[in-house]
């Protein structure tokens, strides 16, 4: 806390100055605008909830007076709105200001207006009566000639708008779909999406326009339309099958890098757009072989392409795997996807592991054998400190059952139980899992042993689970009924009112138990008792929320939820209750597990009904539960799924997604009939659109150019340079999690090395001190004589002190990279036992060249140390560090450290092949990347482009045919990469192919840098 306050206080004067100078000359206004500063300062200095309350109440009183005062200017009003937003954000009602927010939106000038709209969107909800007062302002702004105002109006409409007033603005918004500016078209589409969400029938007539938006020449507009399509396809996928081809084409273009570069995120092309498209494809291809076949290619490409080592590519891969496993299966793709998941599961990064385990559940549903290879990892994950990981894992196990006998699995789990390294929480999970498996197992020795051991366990939770198992095990027939393997659960009825507990509750009440209080009531009481509570340490209420939720091990156990929760709330008489509860509920009609877990949920809801805190409406909760129940029912046809869902609520919810689709297709068969007419009339336009989209795909070039032109316009006067540099700085994965401020300063510090990554050091003379420069040049030239046939970098000083100066340069030999370190003895005396050592590096093999260790370096002379460097594993940037030590006057020894950056480019060599060989190789390579690059003016002619590529990237020019060129290079020791390019206008279409997956992406990146022509 204190450091924050400190920072705040030191920063405040500057910030005040800023806001004062911005707010104009009027002194009164300046002092007023610092009110926000005062509030912010007050908030940062808070130490308790009580203080906060005092501060905000005072603030609210001030605000109340100011907003209603007649002489309050709009500028002041804007300030007030921000302060009101603050108060509401901290949880204090500021409803007196709502009407003023609407007024500000109405009367304000641009930024004031925007803040007015913002306040409205934050303060009001969809059905707030004041919202109607906004409609006129919106209509006026939609008709404004000022595009900024139009944008604001469209934004507010897509956030919050009264349903009944849609007709008032709909024609205006439809008009905007034809607007010349992409931003207006895009926001109009998003506004229509909002209308589709709140009143789908009102926008039914403009479905054709949605298709137009999908085919818009601007990426942003197209992407916006995908939100509408995802929603519509979720509801009725069969009506949009004809668009599959278009979605596939779009995804292909995105994956192939056809989008303008500023859509890239960490050099991955529009990742969120890719994910959106993959989702849509997953829905379209579900249970539909013909449609699925259309997308196999692009899915394969996506799996192949996303190999860049960045989180966001894993997000894409995950989505891709999900899609592959949602659509009609193709074994080749399934295998590739499973392999891909393997990488996730084995990753040491915990987020990836989680993603992998989640994805594994998709895999296992299709083919358990594919997951068997990950069994060990799965078992290891069982004792992971993170409960969310454990949950995924136990779900896996029930699926694996398909191939292994229950006995085998039980034996495995038992072994785990007896291991000491496992926490008791995990053990509780395992016993619960054993319980599920027991009815299917034929021999029960292990189960009996387990019961014996754990009914005497000191751990209450374990003991309870073991007792459950014991009781159930005593009545095998009953247990089998309780946990059926192949029963469909369609006729399941849930007693949501929990009436079966009434008797018990009455009995307890009569014995003096406290009556039930809803969660919020308890919370309020607690708060009123101690107001400072929420800023206290978090131990107490955390444990209850942690254990009442799904994460609780009790949550998965058989009917133990009752007891589980009561342990939390401190009731004691639970052991006897538990089995009675089960009997009463399940004794009658043959025991359905969903019913049982349902009851579990409901029981949980009793003590902690705030489960759905976000849905304040109880009806909503019930409908939601009902829905999920229906879905779960239809899903439980398979025994594996059945087991899993009773094991894991969370896992069940994962598979619910798939089911959603199924259930939907059913219900929509009826709906479709009523829509037949409409679909027919739509079909003609569809055909048109299809031709259009296929046209655009066949002539990629024009399409892309459109993207480019648009993009260039939109950029306006934005400093593109600044962007690219900044992203460069933020790029490094290791920096991402650093504190905000520190992160940037770090980047600043390491700027030289970042430039080195850009290979400036390689191709441009480095800055060195004038004194040593002359010396170095002469040095370099003397060295050149023996190595003239090779290209080499300029000499760069890596370290120095008063005695010596060490410089290094790179010689790009045909078969390796030769690093030369020149040690120059500046002093007048000789240096003894000079020794230069290079630290072993992970990705390199470093070989010392003969004659490296020198006993003596004479005064004012230079000695060279040479090392040949081979790359062992492809990487993009690496660092070679080492040190030199020597002795002066036989007395003390001095050590100097240095390091040099190496990039993949250092290992790229020209590949001299014939055009025929090029052709053969071209076809044999699987990894490719395509991209259009704009050339700078100086490079606009083909020859200069070639020269640049030849020199900067060391590509060999194989052939030139008209305006096309073939180039080849290899990554040492022998990884060829081919480049085909075509010039049209000032655009250059690049196409890389290689057997190595990372190479094309990397070279493309380098090419782009060359083309940008620094």
Q: Which helix (H) or strand (E) holds 960?
A: strand 956-961
Give DSSP secondary structure letters for 734-770.
Answer: GGTTS-HHHHHHHHHHTHHHHHHHTTHHHHSPPP--H
* Contact between 730 and other proteins per CB under 8 A: yes
* Contact between 571 and other proteins per CB under 8 A: no
Q: Which helix (H) or strand (E) holds 885?
A: strand 877-888
Q: DSSP secondary-structure letter at 33?
A: H
Dihedrals phi, psi of 26, to nearest 5 degrees: -60, 120
Site for other proteins in 607-626 (CB under 8 A): 610-616
- Count of C-beta atoms within a 10 Å radius of residue 934: 17
Task: Identify the residue whose tokens are 């919050």.
Answer: 160
Please state, in angstroms and rounded to a whole number, the distance separating the CA atoms of residues 710 and 14: 40
* Contact between 709 and other proteins per CB under 8 A: no
- Find the shortest distance in angstroms from Cβ 152 to other proteins: 8
Cβ–Cβ under 8 Å, residues 835 and 853: yes
User: Taking CB under 8 A as the rule, which mask of x and - marks residues 20-49 in contact with other proteins?
Assistant: --x-------------xx--x--xx-x---
- With respect to other proteins, which residue has the nearer C-beta, 168 or 744? 744
Interacting stretch for other proteins, rule CB under 8 A, among 219-227, 580-588, 791-799, 882-890? Answer: 219-227
- Find the shortest distance in angstroms from Cβ 709 to other proteins: 15
* Contact between 492 and other proteins per CB under 8 A: no
Please state, in angstroms and rounded to a whole number, the distance separating the CA atoms of residues 598 and 378: 28
* Contact between 224 and other proteins per CB under 8 A: yes
Interacting stretch for other proteins, rule CB under 8 A, among 130-138, 204-212, 271-279, 798-806? Answer: 271-279
- Find the shortest distance in angstroms from Cβ 354 to other proteins: 4
* Contact between 89 and other proteins per CB under 8 A: yes
Please state, in angstroms and rounded to a whole number, the distance separating the CA atoms of residues 766 and 769: 10
* Contact between 114 and other proteins per CB under 8 A: yes
- Count of C-beta atoms within a 10 Å radius of residue 191: 29
- Find the shortest distance in angstroms from Cβ 172 to other proteins: 19
* Contact between 630 and other proteins per CB under 8 A: no
Cα–Cα distances in angstroms (integers) from residue 249 to residues 75, 318, 453, 696, in the given order: 49, 21, 61, 9
559: left (phi over 0), alpha (psi -120 to 50) or beta: left
Interacting stretch for other proteins, rule CB under 8 A, among 115-123, 452-460, 506-514, 639-647? Answer: 115-123
Sign of CA dihedral 65, 69, 71, 73: positive
- Find the shortest distance in angstroms from Cβ 318 to other proteins: 6
Site for other proteins in 406-465 (CB under 8 A): none
Strand 927-934 relative to strand 987-994, pairing:
antiparallel
* Contact between 665 and other proteins per CB under 8 A: no
Q: Which of 424, 523, 887, 1008 binds other proteins (CB under 8 A)?
A: 523
Cβ–Cβ under 8 Å, residues 211 and 688: no
Q: Is 71 helix (H, G, I), strand (E, B) or coil?
A: coil
* Contact between 374 and other proteins per CB under 8 A: no
- With respect to other proteins, which residue has the nearer C-beta, 634 or 653? 653
* Contact between 130 and other proteins per CB under 8 A: no
* Contact between 6 and other proteins per CB under 8 A: no
Q: Which helix (H) or strand (E) holds 89?
A: helix 74-89
- Find the shortest distance in angstroms from Cβ 358 to other proteins: 8
- With respect to other proteins, which residue has the nearer C-beta, 82 or 701? 82
* Contact between 4 and other proteins per CB under 8 A: yes
- Find the shortest distance in angstroms from Cβ 957 to other proteins: 35
- Count of C-beta atoms within a 10 Å radius of residue 360: 27
Q: Which of 111, 532, 687, 941 binds other proteins (CB under 8 A)?
A: 111
Site for other proteins in 305-344 (CB under 8 A): 311-312, 314-316, 318-319
* Contact between 270 and other proteins per CB under 8 A: yes
* Contact between 981 and other proteins per CB under 8 A: no
Burial grade of 168 (CB within 10 A; 0-12, 13-18, 19 or more): middle
Interacting stretch for other proteins, rule CB under 8 A, among 575-583, 649-657, 793-801, 837-845? Answer: 649-657
Q: Which of 122, 498, 690, 852 binds other proteins (CB under 8 A)?
A: 122
Q: Which of 30, 82, 494, 957 binds other proteins (CB under 8 A)?
A: 82
Site for other proteins in 683-702 (CB under 8 A): none
Cβ–Cβ under 8 Å, residues 33 and 19: yes
Sign of CA dihedral 558, 561, 567, 573: negative
Which residues are CB-contacts of 168 (< 8 A; sequence separation ≥ 6)?
A: 135, 139
- Find the shortest distance in angstroms from Cβ 119 to other proteins: 9
Q: Which of 165, 197, 791, 957 binds other proteins (CB under 8 A)?
A: 197
* Contact between 190 and other proteins per CB under 8 A: yes
Which two three-digit tokens encode residue 348? 């040491």
Interacting stretch for other proteins, rule CB under 8 A, among 335-343, 732-740, 792-800, 898-906? Answer: 732-740
Site for other proteins (CB under 8 A): how many residues? 114
Which residues are CB-contacts of 685 (< 8 A; sequence separation ≥ 6)?
A: 208, 211
Site for other proteins in 246-265 (CB under 8 A): 262-263, 265
Q: Which of 656, 697, 899, 995 binds other proteins (CB under 8 A)?
A: 656
- Find the shortest distance in angstroms from Cβ 339 to other proteins: 18
Q: Which of 740, 770, 828, 961 binds other proteins (CB under 8 A)?
A: 740
* Contact between 657 and other proteins per CB under 8 A: yes
- Find the shortest distance in angstroms from Cβ 155 to other proteins: 6
Task: Identify the residue whose tokens are 């992406």.
Answer: 1001
Which residues are CB-contacts of 647 (< 8 A; sequence separation ≥ 6)?
A: 394, 395, 397, 398, 432, 433, 436, 556
Site for other proteins in 911-950 (CB under 8 A): none
Please state, in angstroms and rounded to a whole number, the distance separating the CA atoms of residues 824 and 795: 13
Please state, in angstroms and rounded to a whole number, the distance separating the CA atoms of residues 247 and 225: 12
- With respect to other proteins, which residue has the nearer C-beta, 624 or 790? 624
- With respect to other proteins, which residue has the nearer C-beta, 316 or 958? 316
* Contact between 284 and other proteins per CB under 8 A: no
- Find the shortest distance in angstroms from Cβ 992 to other proteins: 24
Q: Is the peptide bond before 134 cis (omega within 30 degrees of 0)?
A: no
Which residues are CB-contacts of 222 (< 8 A; sequence separation ≥ 6)?
A: 213, 214, 215, 216, 250
* Contact between 85 and other proteins per CB under 8 A: yes
Interacting stretch for other proteins, rule CB under 8 A, among 199-207, 372-380, 384-392, 761-769? Answer: 384-392
* Contact between 158 and other proteins per CB under 8 A: yes
Cβ–Cβ under 8 Å, residues 396 and 364: yes
Smallest CA-to-CA distance from 584 within 467, 498, 510 is with: 498
Which two three-digit tokens encode residue 668? 């929509």
Site for other proteins in 844-873 (CB under 8 A): none
Task: Identify the residue whose tokens are 């619910």.
Answer: 656
- Find the shortest distance in angstroms from Cβ 243 to other proteins: 19
Cβ–Cβ under 8 Å, residues 866 and 820: yes
Cα–Cα distances in angstroms (integers) from residue 154 to residues 109, 140, 143, in the given order: 17, 12, 11
* Contact between 545 and other proteins per CB under 8 A: yes
Please state, in angstroms and rounded to a whole number, the distance separating the CA atoms of residues 159 and 187: 11
The length of the chain is: 1014
Please state, in angstroms and rounded to a whole number, the distance separating the CA atoms of residues 248 and 254: 10
- With respect to other proteins, which residue has the nearer C-beta, 688 or 736? 736
Q: Which of 484, 549, 682, 874 binds other proteins (CB under 8 A)?
A: 549
Cβ–Cβ under 8 Å, residues 632 and 642: no
* Contact between 735 and other proteins per CB under 8 A: no
Interacting stretch for other proteins, rule CB under 8 A, among 119-127, 460-468, 470-478, 759-767? Answer: 119-127
């Amino acid at each position: 806390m204190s450091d924050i306050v400190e920072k705040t206080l030191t920063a405040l004067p500057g910030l005040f100055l800023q806001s004062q100078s911005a707010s104009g000359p009027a002194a009164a206004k300046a002092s007023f605008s610092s009110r926000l500063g005062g509030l912010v300062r007050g908030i940062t200095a808070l130490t308790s909830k009580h203080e906060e309350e005092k501060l905000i109440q005072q603030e609210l009183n001030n605000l109340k007076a100011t907003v209603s005062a007649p002489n309050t200017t709009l500028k002041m009003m804007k300030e007030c709105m921000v302060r009101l937003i603050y108060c509401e954000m901290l949880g204090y009602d500021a409803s007196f200001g709502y009407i003023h927010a609407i007024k500000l939106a109405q009367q304000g000038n641009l930024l004031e207006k925007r803040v007015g709209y913002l306040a409205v969107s934050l303060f009001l909800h969809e059905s707030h009566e004041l919202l109607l007062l906004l409609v006129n302002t919106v209509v006026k702004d939609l008709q404004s000639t000022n595009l900024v105002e139009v944008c604001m109006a469209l934004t507010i409409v897509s956030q919050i708008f009264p349903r009944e007033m849609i007709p008032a603005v709909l024609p205006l918004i439809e008009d905007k779909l034809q607007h010349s500016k992409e931003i207006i078209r895009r926001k109009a589409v998003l506004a229509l999406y909002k209308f589709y969400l709140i009143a789908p029938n009102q926008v039914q007539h403009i479905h054709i326009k949605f298709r137009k938006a999908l085919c818009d020449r601007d990426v942003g507009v197209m992407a916006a339309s995908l939100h509408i399509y995802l929603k519509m396809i979720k509801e009725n996928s069969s009506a949009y099958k004809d668009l599959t081809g278009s979605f596939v084409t779009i995804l292909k273009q995105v994956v192939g890098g056809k989008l303008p570069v500023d859509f890239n995120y960490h050099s991955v092309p529009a990742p969120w757009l890719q994910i959106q498209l993959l989702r849509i494809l997953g829905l379209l291809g579900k249970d539909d072989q013909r449609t699925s076949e259309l997308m196999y290619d692009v899915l394969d490409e996506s799996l192949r392409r996303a190999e860049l080592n960045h989180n966001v590519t894993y997000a894409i891969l995950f989505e891709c795997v999900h899609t592959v496993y949602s659509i009609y299966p193709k074994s080749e793709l399934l295998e590739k996807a499973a392999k891909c998941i393997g990488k996730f599961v084995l990753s040491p990064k915990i987020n990836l592991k989680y993603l992998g385990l989640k994805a594994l559940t998709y895999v296992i549903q299709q083919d358990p054998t594919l997951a068997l290879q990950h069994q060990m990892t799965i078992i290891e994950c069982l004792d992971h400190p993170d409960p969310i990981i454990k949950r995924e894992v136990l779900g896996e196990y029930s699926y694996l059952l398909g191939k292994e006998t229950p006995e085998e699995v039980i034996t495995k789990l038992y072994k785990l139980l007896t291991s000491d390294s496992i926490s008791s929480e995990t053990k509780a999970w395992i016993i619960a899992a054993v319980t599920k498996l027991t009815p299917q197992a034929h021999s029960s020795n292990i189960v009996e042993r387990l019961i014996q051991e754990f009914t005497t366990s000191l751990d209450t939770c374990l003991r309870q689970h073991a007792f459950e198992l014991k009781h159930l095990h005593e009545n095998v027939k009953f247990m089998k009924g309780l946990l059926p393997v192949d029963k469909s659960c369609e006729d399941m009825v849930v007693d949501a009112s929990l009436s079966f507990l009434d008797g018990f509750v009455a009995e307890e009440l009569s014995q003096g138990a406290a009556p039930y209080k809803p969660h919020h009531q308890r919370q309020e009481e607690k708060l009123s008792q101690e107001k400072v509570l929420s800023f206290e340490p978090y131990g107490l209420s955390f444990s209850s929320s942690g254990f009442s939720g799904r994460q609780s091990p009790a949550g998965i156990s058989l009917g133990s939820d009752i007891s589980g929760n009561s342990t939390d709330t401190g009731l004691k008489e639970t052991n006897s209750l538990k089995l009675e509860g089960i009997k009463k509920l399940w004794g009658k009609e043959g025991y359905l597990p969903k019913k049982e877990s349902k009851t579990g949920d409901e029981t949980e809801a009793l003590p902690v009904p705030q489960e759905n805190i976000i849905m304040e409406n109880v009806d909503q909760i019930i409908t939601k539960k009902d829905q999920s129940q229906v879905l779960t029912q239809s899903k439980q046809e398979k025994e594996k799924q059945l087991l899993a869902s009773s094991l894991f609520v969370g896992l069940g919810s994962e598979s619910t997604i798939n089911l959603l689709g199924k259930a939907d297709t059913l219900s929509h068969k009826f709906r479709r009939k009523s829509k037949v007419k409409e679909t027919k009339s739509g079909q003609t336009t569809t055909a048109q659109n299809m031709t259009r989209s296929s046209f655009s795909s066949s002539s990629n070039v024009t399409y892309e150019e459109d993207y480019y032109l648009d993009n260039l316009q939109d950029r306006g006067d934005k400093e593109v340079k600044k962007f690219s540099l900044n992203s460069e700085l933020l790029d490094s994965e290791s920096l991402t999690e650093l504190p905000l401020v520190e992160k940037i300063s770090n980047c600043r510090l390491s700027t030289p090395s970042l430039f080195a990554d850009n290979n400036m050091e390689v191709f441009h003379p480095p800055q060195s001190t004038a004194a040593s420069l002359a010396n170095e040049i002469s040095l370099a030239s003397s060295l050149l004589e023996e190595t003239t046939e090779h290209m080499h970098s300029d000499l760069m000083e890596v370290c120095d002190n008063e005695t010596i100066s060490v410089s290094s340069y790179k010689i790009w030999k045909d078969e390796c990279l030769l690093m030369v370190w020149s040690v120059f003895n500046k002093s007048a005396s000789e240096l003894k036992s000079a020794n230069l050592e290079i630290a072993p590096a992970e990705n390199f093999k470093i070989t010392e060249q003969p004659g490296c260790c020198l006993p003596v370096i004479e005064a004012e002379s230079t000695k060279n140390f040479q090392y040949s460097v081979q790359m062992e594993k492809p990487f993009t940037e690496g660092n070679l560090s080492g040190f030199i030590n020597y002795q002066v006057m036989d007395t003390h020894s001095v050590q100097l450290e240095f390091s040099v950056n190496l990039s993949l480019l250092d290992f790229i060599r020209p590949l001299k092949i014939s055009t025929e060989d090029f052709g053969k190789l071209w076809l044999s390579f699987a990894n490719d990347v395509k991209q259009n690059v704009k050339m700078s003016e100086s490079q606009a002619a083909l020859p200069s482009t070639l020269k640049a590529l030849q020199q900067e990237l060391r590509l060999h020019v194989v052939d030139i045919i008209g305006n096309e060129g073939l180039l080849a290079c290899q990554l040492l020791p022998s990884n060829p990469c081919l480049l085909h390019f075509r010039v049209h206008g000032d655009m250059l279409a690049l196409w890389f192919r290689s057997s190595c997956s990372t190479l094309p992406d990397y070279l493309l990146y380098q090419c782009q840098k060359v083309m940008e022509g620094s």
